[in-house]
Amino acid sequence: MFGRRVNFRIFWILGETMKAKIWLISWLVIVVSALSIFGFYVYKIDPFFHYHKPDLDEYYYILDNQRSQNDGITKHFNYDAIITGTSMTENFRKTEVDEIFGCDAIKVPFSGGRYKEVNDNVERGLKANDNIRLVIRCLDTLEGYTINDDTYMREDLGMYPTYLYDDNPFNDVQYIWNRDIIFGRVYQMTIDNDKEDFISGIRSFDEYSRWQSLYTFGINTVVPNGITDIVPENEIHLTEDEKIIIKKNIEENVIAVADNNPNVDFYYFFPPYSIKSWSNWKNEGVLYKNLEIEAYMMELIVPHRNIHLYSFNNRTDIIMDLNNYKDDWHYACWVNSLMLKWMHDGQYQLTEDNYKDYLKQEYDFYTTFDYASVNDQEDYEADFYAAALLNKELTGVDPIDVLNDDQVHVSINGAEVYKDNDGRYAYVSCHGTLARDYNTEPLADYIRDKGFIGIKFDVNLNDGYNYLSFYGQKIMDQGRLTAYVYDENGIVVREIEVNYSDLDNEVHQYVIDLSTISGKVTVVLNGAFVDYTGNPDSQYQFSNIYIF
């Protein structure tokens, strides 16, 4: 009896052991299968382009992670030009670069990235792509960028994804089995693919990292309490030890890549920081040091023939106008557009023959300027008015006074045009309401096809016009602003709608950015209430209507 019990116990233990082994093997099979499936889909979709170029026929790729995506973009995309640098390059538009330089560019900015990080990416691109012929790169001249060890990389921006940059396939597990990648990107891209209205593709390089629409500009934003002049206790200058550090940093991370690629043109530029930044340097006693840093960088760079170095600090009209800036450093997108034109045309290029004259002019201005004098400048209500004022320099065309220029065919409907004391047509007064049924007729379609109360005109944007500027004012009751810009197919490409309840009775400035639109457009400015339910005594008026 005892023997039978022992045998039963043994068989029971063996059975349980077998069950455990089967369970363990089954569990391992499930885990390995799951990891294999996850890894396969990460490899297949590859949201960071680590293994291959994007599958634009099947998925939509969002570009939103510079450090994780730029390396894959540089290694696997088709292109022949690179736009790179810090946040000072984020507002560049690839399409504009392509048009001006006749190239096919990628934009790979590294916000806050130091010279080594940016340069490493350029070198990897040149190694992976034999077609590269142009590199456009900003060189921030701030001390934190220049007086650094040539191997310095910022670690305060989060964990650096080394596994995406090296050639070690084993640490790729941090990518292919990354929870955030699997569920935050790959899974979402897969289910998006099944949606009825899904359109595959990729976020454009024009929009990648572009921050223009996220901020306001002008003195009330940059320095709301005004600039204050302070006499520093000491003036700090660049030391010989610091020059040694700068020299190594510039030689390793700026010059060497150009010398090693003599068939590539490198367009380097010093970003034009605002007058507020120059005021900061003066007040802190480091103005002379910053001028000396810039001068030493020029001395090192200009002898290299395939480097085209530019500085725009002597465009003091732009630097002093804080309508061009969102903070002490960052300029608006229209400054990016101008810099592209200047670089292409060779304006403000520094050479061995002219850079010392440039430095003297820069030194004389910034060491004697009355910085507090900018406090009286106007802060434009419409930020893009600063862009409009610079458009003639960009495109060469004079602005059009719509109400007074014979080259514009203007239609006035249900409104009156009034002259000022000089006999110039000054404003359009709009009265009443539209006969539209708000239940059945879309407003944009009604204004295009049936009627408006206000002004209508056409303009060909291919002639170099980029902005529509006007002033508007609610005069009475339910007068309101409705502005539509239609393309040649009657599609609304830009619009402003402001309900009467959101308007006071003051004059307001409006500017519509048309710089990304081409061809002939039709503009309608309607000041009437938008359907038959409104007060017939409603009134709104438009004035100073210009195309820039």
Measured CA to CA in angstroms, residue 185 lies from 42, 54, 164, 207, 351 at distances of 9, 13, 16, 19, 47
Which residue ranges in the chain fall short of pLDDT 50?
1-2
370 & 403 share domain: no
pLDDT of residue 403: 98
86 & 235 share domain: yes
CATH number, position 480: 2.60.120
432 & 308 share domain: no
34 & 168 share domain: no
CA distance 61 to 65: 11
pLDDT of residue 153: 73
SS (HEC) of 130-186: CCCCEEEEECCCCHHHHCCCCCCCCCCCCCCCHHHCCCCCHHHHHHHCCHHHHHHHH
144 & 163 share domain: yes
The string of pLDDT tens digits covering residues 489-528 is 999 999 999 999 999 999 999 999 999 999 999 999 999 9
pLDDT of residue 11: 56
pLDDT of residue 15: 62
pLDDT of residue 31: 61
Give the structural domain span for 172: 48-379
27 & 156 share domain: no
Return the residue matching tokens 């009657």. 490
472 & 420 share domain: yes
Q: Residue 231 carries which side chain, given as an amino acid letter?
A: V
295 & 342 share domain: yes
402 & 505 share domain: yes
pLDDT of residue 7: 60
CA distance 88 to 210: 10
H or E element, residue 509:
strand 508-513
How many domains does the chain fold into?
3
Q: Is residue 390 part of a domain?
A: no
CA distance 154 to 145: 10
